[in-house]
């Protein structure tokens, strides 16, 4: 049985067979066999996905890349890393860090998620505001195409950004092919990172933080994260981790980087003084060293884990207009507050990416239906989208029509049919065929 470390029983399914190949050739042989015998396969990386994309729905075979974890080459001149798809993100971060480089992605699941899973979900993460989408840094992929198990190698020694269709496989959530190797351009590491946490009283203060942080930091911004008091309280009550600030309705965390710590701190203090000129005194905490930086991040990075201990979690990762960032959280509290335990909002403010999380003592299908109806209506009325960075997976496949036109969906189905005519590669996920 495959257990999901991060999710709840909704996605905890059975498989009779879990395969862990070590080479591309083994993956190709497996796919040839499965194609011939009409056997459905679910590609699985670190299994940290939050939309049920990497687990079987019925009895599909799990093809795990966890033993495909070789680093093949790193070129310190170009910054290009070539590795197998099963390498754990944190291991890659540490490896290229030794050469003064950094991976153009970071996220809380870094210690378990794999680079193949990151590419397959086109994951966002806390540094999206700095680097933009991961797909921008992918200079090549090697995939096993399902239809005949053919290996399609699109990794070239001299990467040519737009000369092939590798981008099609990035963000495809394992529905078109299995990624076996990747080539990624890493970025040079800055020497110092510093952060400020600010206590905010209103939505308006939160959006002002974003504007001032952007204006002062420009391209030296590396994260602009927010969380509300319910998210902070659950981390305290379930994990005993205290927020460094006294209770506030909202908290913002701004991180900057440069080669000079004093410069970072000057900039962060300048943001604070701009805000205090507008709103009067604000409570804040600035990191003066690496330990304090980790402390400031700690509450934010433990929200997911704390919520899991609060009952069944209904997770929604959505795109919303920044001006209305927390509005939907208030709507949910008003509509379903009495049927749930915790309703909280947190996420990547600069990207308009809200994580709306609701918990109840146990899974309640009626409550889920109610939440989805309120959510979809709100998104249509306010111009948002059902998905932001986690993907569609199984969880959101039935909600796709709310955010995509029927023409787009038809095109996605025809691409799927082209690569996977028997619909045996991660069926029931993303597009309903």
Binding residues for ligand MLT (CB under 6 A): 50, 108, 304, 317, 347, 355
User: What residue 120 binds from ligand MLT, ligand FAD, none (CB within 5 to 8 A, per partner kind)?
Assistant: ligand FAD
Residue 104 in the binding site for ligand FAD (CB under 6 A): no
User: What residue 103 binds from ligand FAD, ligand MLT, none (CB within 5 to 8 A, per partner kind)?
Assistant: none
Task: State how far the Cα of 348 lies from the Cα of 344, in Å rounded to an integer.
Answer: 14
Task: State how far the Cα of 178 lies from the Cα of 15, in Å rounded to an integer.
Answer: 19
Largest Cα–Cα distance of the chain, in whole Å? 69
> Site for ligand FAD (CB under 6 A): which residue of 13, 24, 45, 60?
45
Task: State how far the Cα of 1 lies from the Cα of 43, in Å rounded to an integer.
Answer: 15
Contacts for 238 with CB less than 8 Å, ≥ 6 apart: 305, 306, 307, 309, 310
Angle 425-119-411 from CA coordinates, rounded to 5°? 55
User: What residue 355 binds from ligand FAD, ligand MLT, none (CB within 5 to 8 A, per partner kind)?
Assistant: ligand MLT
Residue 325 in the binding site for ligand FAD (CB under 6 A): no
> Closest approach of Cβ 301 to ligand MLT, in Å?
7
Whichever of 288 and 417 has its CB closer to ligand FAD, that residue is 417
Short-list 348, 229, 355, 241, CA closest to 304: 355
Report which DSSP code applies to 419. H
Tell the burial category of 52 from Cβ atoms under 10 Å away from its Cβ (0-12, 13-18, 19+): buried
Binding segment toward ligand FAD, per CB under 6 A, in 36-44, 212-220, 308-316, 333-341: 36-44
User: What residue 53 binds from ligand MLT, ligand FAD, none (CB within 5 to 8 A, per partner kind)?
Assistant: ligand FAD
Q: Contact letters (x/-) for ligand FAD, 221-260, by CB under 6 A?
A: ----------------------------------------
Whichever of 141 and 375 has its CB closer to ligand FAD, that residue is 141
> Closest approach of Cβ 373 to ligand FAD, in Å?
25
> Closest approach of Cβ 48 to ligand MLT, in Å?
9
Task: State how far the Cα of 18 lies from the Cα of 8, in Å rounded to an integer.
Answer: 20
Residue 140 neighbours by CB distance under 10 Å: 21
């Amino acid at each position: 049985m495959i257990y999901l470390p991060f999710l709840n029983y909704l996605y905890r399914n059975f498989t009779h067979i879990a395969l862990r190949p070590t080479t591309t050739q083994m993956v190709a042989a497996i796919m040839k066999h499965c194609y011939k015998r009409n056997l459905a396969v679910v590609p699985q990386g670190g299994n940290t996905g939050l939309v049920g994309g990497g687990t079987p729905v019925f009895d599909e075979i799990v093809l795990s890349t966890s033993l495909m974890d070789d680093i093949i080459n790193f070129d310190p001149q170009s910054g290009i890393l070539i590795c197998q798809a099963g390498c754990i993100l944190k291991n890659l971060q540490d490896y290229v860090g030794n050469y003064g480089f950094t991976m153009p992605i970071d996220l809380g699941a870094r210690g378990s998620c794999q680079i193949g899973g990151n590419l397959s979900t086109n994951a966002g993460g806390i540094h999206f505001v700095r680097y933009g989408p991961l797909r921008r840094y992918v200079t090549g992929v090697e995939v096993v195409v399902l239809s005949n198990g053919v290996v399609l190698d699109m990794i070239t020694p001299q990467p040519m950004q737009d000369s092939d269709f590798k981008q099609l496989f990035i963000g495809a959530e394992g529905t078109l092919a299995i990624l076996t190797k990747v080539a990624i351009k890493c970025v040079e590491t800055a020497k110092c990172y510093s952060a400020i946490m600010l206590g905010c009283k209103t939505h308006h203060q939160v959006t002002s933080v974003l504007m001032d942080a952007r204006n002062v930091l420009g391209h030296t911004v590396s994260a602009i994260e927010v969380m509300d008091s319910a998210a902070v309280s659950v981390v305290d009550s379930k994990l005993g981790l205290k927020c460094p600030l006294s209770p506030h309705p909202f908290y913002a965390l701004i991180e900057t980087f440069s080669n000079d710590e004093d410069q970072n701190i000057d900039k962060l203090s300048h943001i604070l003084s701009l805000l205090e000129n507008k709103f009067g005194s604000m409570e804040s905490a600035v990191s003066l060293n690496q330990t304090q930086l980790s402390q400031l991040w700690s509450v934010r990075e433990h929200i997911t884990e704390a919520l899991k201990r609060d009952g069944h979690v209904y997770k929604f990762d959505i795109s919303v207009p920044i001006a209305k960032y927390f509005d939907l959280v208030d709507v949910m509290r008003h509509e379903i507050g009495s049927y749930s335990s915790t309703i909280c909002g947190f996420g990547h403010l600069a990207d308009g990416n809200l994580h709306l999380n609701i918990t109840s003592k146990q899974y309640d299908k009626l409550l889920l239906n109610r939440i989805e109806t309120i959510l979809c209506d709100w998104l249509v009325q306010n111009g948002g989208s059902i998905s932001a960075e986690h993907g569609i997976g199984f969880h959101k496949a039935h909600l796709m029509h709310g955010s995509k036109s029927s023409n787009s969906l038809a095109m996605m189905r025809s691409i799927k049919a082209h690569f996977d005519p028997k619909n045996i590669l991660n069926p029931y996920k993303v597009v309903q065929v």
